Structure formats: structure tokens, C-alpha cells
Amino acid sequence: MDKIIKIIRQLRSNTYDDLVAFMYQPKDPSSLGVIRFLFGFLMLCDLPEERGGSDIDIRWGNPKDCHFPLFPIMIIPTYPWMCLMYFVMLVGATGIMLGYKFRLSTLLFGIPYWYILLLDKSYWNNHSYLYGIVTILLVGSSANHYFSLDGYLNETKKNRHVPYWNYFILKYQFFMLYFLAGLKKTDMEWLDGYSMESLGNHWVFLPFRLFLTSDKVDYLIVHWFGFLLDLTIGFWMLMRSTRPVAMVFCAMFHLMNSRLFSIGMFPYVCLATMPLFCEETWPRKLLEQFHISTKDPLPSPDCIYTKDGKYQLSKQNWKRKLVVVLLFTHCSLQLFLPYSHFITKGYNNWTKGLYGYSWDMMVHSWDTIQVVVKVVDNESGEQFFIDPGAWTQNDRWNKHADMCLQYSHCLKRNLVESFENRSIPGDTTSSLKHPYITSKNISVYMDVWCSLNKRFQQRMYDPNYDLLKASWSPFKPVEWLLLVLTEYNNFRVTMNEIAKEVYSWSNDSDVLFIADYPGMYLENYIEDNMQNVTLTVLEGKVVYEIEDDGLQQSTGLVLSKFDTVHVEIGLFHKVHTIGDTPACYMYTYVNADKNEESESEPVNRRMYAPFPILEDLGDRTAAMARMWKHISSAFHYFIFNKPYLHDQIKN
């Protein structure tokens, strides 16, 4: 806190030269060197996991797969070249860890890292963005002056003081990580406890369940304590008097997150950078506790002593002044970007902006029940449906209108290619699963049904909007987006009460809540494994229509608020929303296969594994081995021009 006050005083009273001198005052390099080593090591661990290094062939190997680059001009490298990029990142991360050719190593890691990150928005995470930012900040730092091969090989760098801005900018970045995450959690969705659910049953909360129910753990510990910790922990760690207690709470918070969520190295990166908030000399003091003597850092050549025994820069050139300008530009940018969504309107959907740089970590939870992708051949009039998992590796894209647009064009490209290749004699690569296309004149329509933060399930987009003809701009609102029905937010309490009642009927009973706009309809088919299916209207007015192919006719029944009807099994039916207001209704049913499905699902090992850390180490070692096989197969291809063997890599 004292340092923050000093900075403020510098900004208020002294000249810009004094500010530059303050940012360049020499500091002990030991803390920065240790943090650099840990960051490089954790990036090595991150490469085969969240960067996808262990599954390069799956994520990047199929040229037909749809990707979602931020800039359309970006080119997706082929599998061998992508493996080479991962190898370059591997070399760079190793160089960062060892402090060897440090500036070159940060560039070797950072350039392909950012390129791969920008190649596909569907993989974006806040912490992925954080790693890229930290890499950029390290490029110009002197983090290789301690505990590094550069220092061992070059006496002019070994154990030399580093300028204070090396610590300041990293400390600022991680302070804002916590503080902005806390500010984002001021959203009432978080404070009312709708963002996260069912975490209270996890073993990490066993001590709290001695005096709190699981629901109370979710609300008080996960939501409110998480909000207060994010908002204030940076301030507590800055102050010397509260730092020890704050560090304990912060460490426990990150360790719990490492067990609760599959978020890769993020908790460990936060743990490794917590010492940024401590005195820069903590590694030396720690070694002294073990009676290991260390040498004091050597002064920088451009520093002199003043009469009061402090260092002062002997000169200030334009480069230092430019660095300070860039530092404060970065600080301003990090404050602006999380709230810049009023400019990038095209990326706004039910939530603001693309997930990845706004620090709204886990404020919004999604539950998707249905994604319908319909293709219409405008020449023949035929229509058919595409599996929304076709040519994609994850389902995050369907929550973002811009990515839905990109998927539609990718889908057309693949379908048209299949249509054209069917006429090529001897062609064996074309997809014969889609013989319906008779021309390039097609339309793509998308109907996505999901729930945001425990609301009703509702459609996100206008299902009658041809995405291939869509007009989209990053600076204009999305035309085909349907807004969240926020007028029914208060229903979430009632929905929770109804759900508890339905679940009490039997172990197989379930309920589904739906809301829809006037003039639209939901088409549904009830499988034979469903029993006692009923439709109940909660708000508005609907028409329940049965489609009976045997009778070649449809029968409609008007239902108003609180009306209930038994739903026929094995038939298609439609629920039309009529009137001037949206309608809300629910299905209650007994799923005969519910227990079998839950038993067949993989058990959450993070929740029940007795030795989770050992299992994590085993998984990460296996992932690293698979990545090395991918890289070696790529080099084998470049040297001997022989294709890689997919089965050998997987085994």
C-alpha cells in the first residue's frame, strides 16, 4: 500500500522524469527470477492440456473442421505445421523456465501462442488471455537476472538489479485479475446465487457442511465469499500487516479451485505469482532460514548513490520514457477492455462480449437442451438437419452469434465440396452422408435452446433467419438475436420449488421449463422411454398440436395458464405460443433410463478421487507424451515425407 501511495504522489506532484526514475529504481531480482521459472514450467504443463498439444490431430488435423478465428484472414496451418508451432512454443517455454536466451524464448513462446489463441474463439478463456499478456510483459523485463542460464553465462546479467517496473506491471496485472473479477461479480446474477450450482456437495466443502447445507454452501461460500475475496484480496496482499493472512486465504482459494474446476494451470499460475505482492527479497530471506548465504544483487551500471544512501538513475533517455508511456498505456487498456462491449456490439449476445478478456469468470452458467441446424436446398426445396457436432470440437460456438455465422459458412463450404466431389470419378474423400444437396444455392437456419443462470429454456436466435444472408458487423447489434426473457427472472424461485416437488415423486421423475416468444412454436418428439409426460402452462397461452402421420391430420388444443394436458408418446407434437405475450410452460415426466444414464456417465474423479494430485500427475505425463509423439511424427513427415500414424500416437 505504501508503494501505491508513492506512485500517486509521483503522479500528483513531481515531474515526468521523477516518475520515470521511480519506475526504474533498482530492485532485487530474486523474486522475479523465481516467478519467471515457475511461469515457464507451468506453461510447459499447459501446452499439452488447454493448448491442445496432446490432441493436435483432433483439434487441428481435419481440414474440414470449422474453426472460429478472430480475424477471417487468419490461415489454419496443416497438421505438420501446427505440430511445429507447438514445438516452437515448447522450446520457448523451456527457455523462459531456464532463463536461457530469455528475450528470444519469450518471443518463441508468445508469437505462436497468440496466433493459436486467435485462431479459434471457441477455446478462449480468461486465463488463456492472461498467459498471453504475462508473456508480453516478460519480453521487455529483466527476469533472467536471477536463477537463469543467461546469468550463469553472462556476468553482466548475473544477479543484477532489475528496474521496479518489472515488478509493478506484473503486480498490477494480477491485482486487476482479482479486482475486476470481483467487480464483475457485483452482477445480481452472481450475488443472488444463480451462477453456480451443486458445488456444495464437493469434498472440498466438507468442513463447511458441518454447519451449512449444500445450498447454503453454494450461496454463502461459493457466491458471496468468492465475491468478497476477489474484490478485496489484492488490497489485503498489498498491505504488509494483512498480507500473511491474505496469502493463506488466497492459496486456499486457488487450491480449492484446482479441485473444483477443470481449468488447467490457472490456479497454479495464480499460486506461483502470489509472491509478487511480497518483498522482492523473499527468496534470499527464505534461503537464509536454511543457513544458505547469498550475495547481494549488483547495482545497475547507470545507477549512482545519493547522499541519503538511495539509488538514483545517472541518466534518463527517451527509451525509458517510452517504456513508462507503454506501461501506463497497458494499464489503461486493461481497465478499458473489460468494459468495451458498448463498442464491439456484434460480439454481444445474452452476455456482453466474447468470453476470454472480460474477467467475468463463471458469472454466467449455461444449460443447452437443443441445437437444431437446418439446411434448405433452395433448388429442390428439400430440407434436412445437420448434427451440430459435425466438424466442430466443442459446443461453445453456438452461444455466440458471430461464431454461428462462421459455422454456417463453414457448413456450406463442406456441403458444397461434398456435392462437387460426388461427380469426380474415383473420389473417395467426399462425404456421402449428405446426398441432399443438388446445388450451391442453400440456406442455413439455426435454432438454439438454452438456459442462462437457471432461467427458462428459450431460443437464442430467430429460427427463420438465413445465416448465409446475415449482415453482421463487430460494431452493430446482432439482427437475429432474441433477447433473454428477463421479465420471468422471478420465476426461478418458483421453478426451484416445483423441481424439488417433482424430484420427490420418484428417483426417475424430472421436469423441463420452457419459455417462447409469441408467433413461434416448439416441435418436440417424446421417446418411448418417457412415461407420464404432461405439459402444464405457467404463463401465457399456447396451442398443443399433435402430428399424426397415420391420420394425415393435426389436432390442436388451446391451453391457458395452469392448464395441463397428457402428451402422447412416440409422436411429434408442436407447442405454438399465441397471444401478445411470451408463454411459459413445463414438461413433467418419468425417464425410465434416467438411473442407467447417470450410472453410465463417467464419475467426476475430481470429486471422489482419493489421490487426485497423483492422478493429475499421471494424466499430465501421458498428455505430454502424446504431444511429443505428435511433434516427432511431424518431424518424421518433414524429413522423410511419410504420414504420421494416428493409432500409434493414441496408443
Report CA torsion sign: 156, 157, 162, 166.
positive
- Pair 195, 269 in one domain: yes
CATH number at residue 539: 2.60.120.10
Residue that is last in its domain, among 543, 561, 591? 591
Query: Per-residue DSSP letters for 374-434?
Result: EEEETTT--EEEE-TTTT-S-SGGGG-HHHHHHHHHHHHHHHHHHHHHTTSTT--SS-TT-
User: Of residues 436 and 405, which shows the higher confidence score?
Assistant: 405
In a domain, 353, yes or no: no
User: Of residues 397 and 354, which shows the higher confidence score?
Assistant: 397
Q: Which residues contact 468 (CB under 8 A, 6 or more apart)?
A: 408, 409, 412, 442, 443, 444
- Pair 642, 585 in one domain: no
pLDDT of residue 11: 55
pLDDT of residue 596: 55
Does 58 score more than 70 pLDDT? yes
User: Of residues 305 and 296, which shows the higher confidence score?
Assistant: 296
- Pair 260, 206 in one domain: yes
For residue 420, name the pLDDT band (cuts at 50, 70, 90): confident
Does 425 score more than 50 pLDDT? no
User: Of residues 311 and 388, which shows the higher confidence score?
Assistant: 388
Rounded mean pLDDT, 303-318: 62
Rounded mean pLDDT, 426-436: 44
In a domain, 357, yes or no: no
Counted domains in the chain: 4
DSSP type of residue 187: S
pLDDT of residue 428: 39
Residues present in the chain in total: 651
pLDDT of residue 424: 42
Three-state SS at 364: coil
For residue 314, name the pLDDT band (cuts at 50, 70, 90): low
For residue 304, name the pLDDT band (cuts at 50, 70, 90): low
Q: Which three cell numbers stand for residue 133?
A: 499478456
pLDDT of residue 6: 65
pLDDT of residue 318: 87
Closest Cα partner for 494 from 532, 541, 522, 456? 456
- Among 330-334, 445-449, 596-600, which is the least confidently predicted range? 596-600
To the nearest 10°, report the CA torsion of 643, 647, 649, 651: -160
- Pair 629, 584 in one domain: no
Helix (H) or strand (E) holding 289: helix 282-289
pLDDT of residue 305: 52
- Pair 142, 290 in one domain: yes
In a domain, 28, yes or no: yes
Three-state SS at 606: helix
- Pair 59, 9 in one domain: yes
In terms of Cβ atoms closer than 10 Å to its own Cβ (0-12, 13-18, 19+), residue 133 is buried
- Among 52-66, 110-124, 572-586, 610-624, which is the least confidently predicted range? 610-624
Report CA torsion sign: 127, 52, 122, 200.
negative
pLDDT of residue 430: 40
pLDDT of residue 438: 79
- Alpha-carbon gap, residue 637 to 584, rounded angstroms: 58
Rounded mean pLDDT, 438-454: 93
- Pair 453, 545 in one domain: no
Domain boundaries, position 418: 365-491
For residue 614, name the pLDDT band (cuts at 50, 70, 90): low
Contact 512, 369 (CB under 8 A): yes
- Pair 189, 156 in one domain: yes
In a domain, 330, yes or no: yes
Does 353 score more than 90 pLDDT? no
Rounded mean pLDDT, 263-268: 94
- Pair 178, 274 in one domain: yes
- Pair 135, 201 in one domain: yes
Three-state SS at 480: coil
User: Of residues 423 and 619, which shows the higher confidence score?
Assistant: 619
Helix (H) or strand (E) holding 27: strand 26-27
- Alpha-carbon gap, residue 640 to 524, rounded angstroms: 54
For residue 351, give the amino acid letter. T
Rounded mean pLDDT, 359-374: 92
In a domain, 515, yes or no: yes
Rounded mean pLDDT, 264-282: 96
Does 234 score more than 90 pLDDT? yes
- Pair 554, 484 in one domain: no
Among candidate residues 157, 184, 185, 412, the one labeled active-site is 185
For residue 15, name the pLDDT band (cuts at 50, 70, 90): confident
Mean pLDDT value across the chain: 88
For residue 618, name the pLDDT band (cuts at 50, 70, 90): confident
Q: Which three cell numbers stand for residue 136?
A: 508480453
In a domain, 597, yes or no: no
Contact 68, 401 (CB under 8 A): no
Edge-first strand order for the sheet with 553-559 is 521-525, 572-578, 541-548, 553-559
In a domain, 356, yes or no: no
- Among 194-203, 293-302, 427-436, 584-593, which is the least confidently predicted range? 427-436
Residue that is last in its domain, among 321, 339, 357? 339
Does 479 score more than 60 pLDDT? yes
**Catalytic annotation on 185?**
yes
Long-range contacts of the stretch 414-418 (C-beta < 8 A, 24+): 414/64, 414/66, 415/375, 415/442, 416/440, 416/442, 417/64
pLDDT of residue 298: 82
Residue that is last in its domain, among 456, 491, 526? 491
CB atoms within 10 A of CB 359: 23
Most confident of 95-104, 208-217, 431-440: 95-104
- Pair 327, 425 in one domain: no
In terms of Cβ atoms closer than 10 Å to its own Cβ (0-12, 13-18, 19+), residue 583 is buried
Does 555 score more than 80 pLDDT? no
What is the bridge-based pairing of β-strands 572-578 and 541-548? antiparallel
- Alpha-carbon gap, residue 144 to 152, rounded angstroms: 10
- Alpha-carbon gap, residue 461 to 398, rounded angstroms: 10
pLDDT tens digits, residue range 484-503?
Answer: 999 999 999 999 999 999 99
In a domain, 596, yes or no: no
